[in-house]
Structure 1
């Protein structure tokens, strides 16, 4: 398929300029003014609109088995929802069970992802350690295009990585030219605080944020950064939610350490008052980890994005329905952790960021696409409008608007943490791998059209 996107303003991370964009097959082949439309080409009128690289969501969980249940969105419904919101690539997680072989788990997730409608790639979690894990990390990097490994510092008695595992995995990542990523919460503290709250009879969802205060996140972030510093490896902190964690990242970066931070769209605009709702289904619908924080932390996260100490935006898309969340009706620790957002991230960040004067359009592209592509070695295949890049393009209408609702979303789960929020700035068209998959409100996603994206190792890892 040949597509000409005509009359728009191209927004890349480094500059904004007037140009047409010509796509042939799955690649962009020309970016210039006044391009002629080849015979038979599909022409998209982008007049008065921006033309930007497709979004990259660095943190999703499709088809995830978790806390005794499985997320509502599989790889088709989740990626299709992303396409409707302008996200053309997701970074999901292979999470082996304790003692499960890494390669076995990786192939399990690859099988589930065969139905993806958009491109996908995987971080692989290190949930335990022995010599086979050391070996399999090498196989994943060299043979399967994996260059990032995830470490949960939370979820005691399940998938939590202790300090020994962190040190050994970080060191192995450095040897392989891969980047360690961490979920930073002190799992032992969380567990003890949960038990204290339950003993006091505080069993509802309002106890969830009390069991995971900012200090619990900050301690783990500082510990992960310290370990990375000693071993001279880069480290990427997922879903940074509080000012204290951001301070740890900022301090390390000021001393030249390679630390990267990710912010979730939800943490940027939703505050912890949601847990005080008398509607327990509503409160439980917002249970995720780390939890939503007070408004002062939102302000800090925006400053982190503006100042370049937070680098990416994501969603931690992990959808559970009300019946699944009800498993914790008498014990908040049994509420499956997770919220949606893959369909809404780009509009929420544009509306709350660009429209509010906190981000420029180019900075928006950085934190929704380009930085992710660069940090995880997909650039310039992804994250830029340029000849030779993948034909993943979003035509962005800065004046278009919609009101977010679970009733109209494409994602499953029947709940939306952004419910009722009207956003200005929406995709009018999404092109993924050279095909129009969303246009003027109509989703044309194709099950199985998504491709696995191999991410090469960083050859000079020790210098990063």
Structure 2
């Protein structure tokens, strides 16, 4: 049945206005006033904003790491994402050296098929560049619609690639019109600092941060940006956590480089002191890059406001405190890196950003949805509210307050990194391709509704199919 959302205020990255939205055959059919209500389910959005569905460009679901596997998979993770106003995620497909890329992609399809309640796509990790990899990359783009490749500059002897691999990936991405993503930390220096800390008997969670200082992230970000300029390619720096990294991105962009930056809500509202919590509680906040001293938050907020950082990812990578984080009880290097963020990404940015006057309402939409859609080949299918685009919509009450807690969240993990934080503004109902996934704060979706999305190339629009309305 067609749906007509009435009485709401539509907000996109550029406009804010009152109008109704007509949905049919999974897409937005019309936007305006006095639309035909015949054969429609009427949805009253009075007092609410109507946002484009959130796009989370950075998730790790059902991912092996540090001898264990993330607690949230594509079923629980996408349910939590939907409650948080996210209707599309892009997850990271990990590869193994010497293994065909397609084998890794097939493995990620197996993890996700029939489980997701919202739409999803993949980034592909590139751990080595050789003739076999170069031969496969065009097929990865054309067949799988994976148009973004990730290179790690950290996690030595696990994920880390050398500079030659990064540079050759940048060159290939320029030719193929793909976007290179980078985890920018100097893994070699981190390895030395970690060995030094352990030799001195420093094993507590706080040493995860102290062995990964912000200068290490800044150096790697600057190095990646310079290699991007040398290759005349394009780069997306994930999870920017500190002033030093933000400054390198700003510097590169001023020189005309195609360098983009993402930060995450944890770096905007949490700080390094969380890692000092007693009774090993600090392990809950171990992820990479680590939390920084509080003053870095102001720099990141300003970078978001100025457009120097373009997106907000969650870096969702959840591990239980009991039984998983505890693996590093006597050695911080064995604490699985990552946190449960996917559900609260959207609302934290609204509450801490819009409500507190740090960013505008339209910037909020751009950061949580539109810019990611444009960078990763989903726009205008997703990332905006426009006729012909997917009816991925969030009906959002800006006046509702809630206190974040593991007791009420929908992730499978046993703690919440933002426990006790009160935020203003909450999704009430969420639609994915015109179907309710969350309705009046109740989950009404189903596993398998989410579709795998083959994305367009970097900076190319997603070609929409023309859909004619019917009387169904």
Q: Equivalents in 1 of 2:417, 2:33: separation in Å? A: 41
For 1:414, the equivalent position in structure 2 comes to 414
Q: Is the 8 A contact 2:374 2:459 kept in 1?
A: no
TM-score, normalising length: structure 1: 0.97
> Does structure 1 retain, via aligned residues, the 8 Å contact 2:375–2:459?
no
Question: By how many angstroms is 1:402 displaced?
Answer: 1.1
Q: SS of the counterpart of 1:278?
A: coil
Q: Please tell me whether the aligned partners of residues 98 and 159 of structure 1 are also in contact (alpha carbons under 8 angstroms).
A: no
The equivalent residue for 2:50 is 51
Q: How far 1:44 sits from its partner (Å)?
A: 1.4
String of CA shifts for 1:185-242, please: whole Å, max 9, x gaps.
0000111111010001001101010011000101110011000000000100000000
Please give the secondary structure, in 1, of the residue aligned with 2:324: helix
Q: 2:294 aligned with 1:298, yes or no?
A: no
Q: Where does 1:22-171 land on structure 2 (aligned, <5 Å)?
A: 22-39=22-39, 41-114=40-113, 115-171=115-171
In structure 1, what is the Cα distance between the partners aligned to 2:131 and 2:25? 44
Cα distance in 1 for residues equivalent to 2:379 and 2:129? 31
What does residue range 138-287 of structure 1 map to in structure 2 within 5 Å? 138-280=138-280, 282-287=281-286
Question: For residues 441 and 35 of structure 1, what CA distance do their matches in structure 2 show?
Answer: 27
The residue aligned with 2:383 is: 383
Secondary structure of the residue aligned to 2:167 is helix
Partner of 1:327: 327
- Give the structure-2-normalised TM-score: 0.96
**Structure 1, unaligned runs of 5 or more:** none
For 1:217 and 1:459, how far apart are their aligned partners in 2?
A: 27
Where does structure 1 differ by over 3 angstroms across 4 or more consecutive aligned residues?
458-461
Unmatched 5+ residue regions in structure 2?
Answer: 462-472
| In structure 2, C-alpha distance between the alignment counterparts of 1:133 and 1:38, rounded to whole Å | 54
State the SS of the aligned residue for 1:58: strand
What's the secondary structure of 2:233's corresponding residue? Answer: coil
Corresponding residue SS for 2:447: coil
SS at match of 1:395: strand
Specify the alignment match of 2:9 in structure 1.
Answer: 9
Q: Secondary structure at the match of 1:431?
A: strand
8 Å CA contact 1:311, 1:371 repeated in 2: yes
For 1:300-322, what per-residue CA distance to the aligned partner results, in whole angstroms no more than 9, with x for missing partners?
Answer: 11001000010000110011012
Contact 2:239/2:263, CA 8 A, preserved across alignment: yes
Q: What pairs with 1:306-325 in structure 2 (closer than 5 Å)?
A: 306-322=305-321, 323-325=323-325
Deviation string, structure 1 residues 277-326 (Cα, Å, up to 9, x no partner): 1120x210110000111111111110010000100001100110121111
2: CA distance, partners of 1:268 / 1:396: 22
Q: For the Cα contact (< 8 Å) 1:134–1:169, is it kept in 2? A: no
Task: Find the counterpart in structure 2 of residue 455 from structure 1.
Answer: 455
